[in-house]
Amino acid sequence: MRGYVSCAVDCPYEGPIDPGAVAKVVARLRDLGCVEIAVADTIGKATPERVHAMVLAALEEAAPGLLAGHFHDTGGMALANVDVAWDLGLRIFDSAAGGLGGCPYAPGAAGNLGSGALVAHFASKGIATCINRELLADTETMLEAMFISER
């Protein structure tokens, strides 16, 4: 079972989230038996400094191998936030082909971090992902054509 701590940095209703509150939810999900817990910047307003504080708090309750990062790119900081989480030991990150999606219940939560952008970012740092970049690019191109034609 995978659990999510949505809005782990900012909430569209409550504003900034205390990292200690995130740690408490991580502990509850861990105790419920989650084998993976994603900490999410659901609305994409996080900064690397705030992600650092949040992930450090989460690491007080769970080992890095239990945690995953979920960063939206609304504010253009998703890859910088991935870097912070990577430096703290996280190795699992959510992304979406072409950056599709968002969060329908969180006002202002635009597109997810694009898989192509994440894989290219890791490649530029010499981090292997085992993702076929050519197939991923083809898939993202196809999805873009499909969804642009629907608009």
Which residues are catalytic, by number? 103
Distances 101 to 23, 32, 59, 112, 126 between C-alpha atoms, Å: 27, 28, 28, 6, 28
Q: Per-residue DSSP letters for 57-113?
A: HHHTTS-GGGEEEEEB-TTS-HHHHHHHHHHTT---B--BGGG----TTSTT--PBP
Contact 75, 44 (CB under 8 A): yes
CB neighbours (10 Å) of residue 20?
A: 11
Q: Quote the CA–CA distance of 42 and 16 in Å, as a whole number.
A: 12
